[in-house]
A = this chain, B = another copy of it.
Amino acid sequence: MVKNKRWVYAHEFKGEPKKSDFELREEDIPALKDGEVLFEAVYLSVDPYMRMYVARIGPPQYTMIGSQIARVVESRHADYKVGNNVVAYFGWQIFTICDPDNFTTPFGMKDKPFILPDFGGLPSSLGLGVLGMPGNTAFFGFLEICKPKEGEVVVVSGAAGAVGNLVGQIAKIKGCHVIGIAGSDEKLAWLKEELKFDGVINYKTQNVAAELKKLAPKGVDCYFDNVGGEISSHVLYQMKTYGRISVCGSISSYNNDINSIPKAPVIQMALVMNQLRMEGFHVWRWMDRWMEGIKQNLQWIQEGKLVYKETVTEGFSKMPEAFIGMLKGDNTGKAVVKA
């Protein structure tokens, strides 16, 4: 009989997550009850937010959190047919049995597994990336908070990551001058040559403040912040009056608990001097407009205006490595695991 496999968040992260913080468990799969569906993971997502969010759920010994693309393998629910692909918040496990009408995430949010719309022949894994949460994070988080205007200077940190690369491309579509900050020359080459970013900075080998001064001598209008910390302080002190900052993430501080947040140059003076507006967000605030973002990103892909890239790790057994590598910036574009 087939068994379920799941990765348990077993030991509290201290600093950078380690492989030994996770444990792989095997369990029997019970029989379906009326109204229930059996799903099998196809692609699993690893995302930066997971590092921070585990602390919200409670002490370890639960299935590691995350979303996946899953296929219906058995169904006793009229809306879910065998072979349907869904995106759902099932965590790091292969098989999931649930009653879709009463499924809640570990955060306590009602969240019915979402049958993927027609992606026009594109891979279903994009439902975890450009046509899913990261795509909408870029679309709404950038456009709604930064409200960019044509010709404005936009800086993106974490620019080669799942969200950052899309923000830069959307900014280009909107007619902005786009500068990306990332951590390797390979990433910079991709941003500049394939995605047509106007300028790029390697934060590991270059002086961010000095390079930015050269690339944006008149200052920055919009900053999409994925990283927090030193890099962001430097960007903020080069912003123009009424500049806008969308704070999507703070990956530079995720490996610290709330009592040991790293320090960076104080940014309040930048906010006052240039009357900047800065806002953090979760993409869920635009839940009611979800399909608007997905459809627009899909259309831009089909028109050749938006390029997507995935870093795919093969094998469910490699989930911890994929997660740890993503936090270190090993991926370009969206990091996913093929089950």
A residues contacting B by CB (< 8 A) are 52, 225, 227-229, 232-233, 237, 247-250, 252-254, 258, 261-282, 285
* Docked complex Cα distance between A282 and B179 (Å): 28
Residue of A254, A263, A273, A280 most packed against chain B (CB within 10 A): A280
Residues of B within 8 A of A252 (CB): 266
* Docked complex Cα distance between A232 and B263 (Å): 13
Q: Which 6 pairs show the lowest CB-CB distances between chains A and B?
A: A271-B280, A228-B268, A250-B268, A263-B263, A261-B265, A250-B269
| CB-based nearest B residue for A241 | B282
A285 and B275 in contact, given A250-B269, A263-B265 (Cβ under 8 angstroms): yes
**Closest Cβ–Cβ distance, residue A53 to chain B (whole Å):** 9
* Docked complex Cα distance between A270 and B250 (Å): 9
Residue of A264, A266, A267, A268 most packed against chain B (CB within 10 A): A268
**Closest Cβ–Cβ distance, residue A221 to chain B (whole Å):** 15
In the complex, 7 of the A-B residue pairs with CB atoms within 8 angstroms, ordered by the A residue number, are A229-B268, A249-B272, A253-B266, A271-B278, A275-B280, A278-B278, A278-B279
Residues of B within 8 A of A263 (CB): 263-266
* Docked complex Cα distance between A258 and B228 (Å): 18
SS of A interface (majority):
mixed
Residues of B within 8 A of A274 (CB): 280
A275 and B269 in contact, given A237-B258, A261-B233, A263-B264 (Cβ under 8 angstroms): no
* Docked complex Cα distance between A54 and B79 (Å): 68
Residues of B within 8 A of A282 (CB): 272, 275
Q: Is the CB of A266 within 8 A of B229?
A: yes
**Closest Cβ–Cβ distance, residue A276 to chain B (whole Å):** 5
Residue of A252, A265, A276, A282 most packed against chain B (CB within 10 A): A265
Residues of B within 8 A of A249 (CB): 268, 272
| CB-based nearest B residue for A237 | B258
A232 and B279 in contact, given A237-B258, A258-B237 (Cβ under 8 angstroms): no
Q: Is the CB of B266 within 8 A of A280?
A: no
* Docked complex Cα distance between A52 and B264 (Å): 20
| CB-based nearest B residue for A225 | B268
* Docked complex Cα distance between A258 and B247 (Å): 22
Residues of B within 8 A of A280 (CB): 268, 270-277
Residues of B within 8 A of A227 (CB): 268
Q: Is the CB of A247 within 8 A of B272?
A: yes
* Docked complex Cα distance between A77 and B262 (Å): 59
Q: Is the CB of A265 within 8 A of B268?
A: no
Q: Which of B52, B253, B279 is close to A275, meaning CB atoms less than 8 Å apart?
A: B279
Q: Is the CB of A276 within 8 A of B273?
A: no
* Docked complex Cα distance between A252 and B277 (Å): 20
Q: Is the CB of B253 within 8 A of A52?
A: no
Q: Is the CB of A228 within 8 A of B279?
A: no
Q: Which of B52, B253, B254, B272 is close to A250, meaning CB atoms less than 8 Å apart?
A: B272
Q: Is the CB of B271 within 8 A of A279?
A: yes
Residues of B within 8 A of A277 (CB): 277-280
Residue of A252, A266, A278, A282 most packed against chain B (CB within 10 A): A266
Residues of B within 8 A of A281 (CB): 272, 275
Residues of B within 8 A of A261 (CB): 233, 237, 265-266, 269
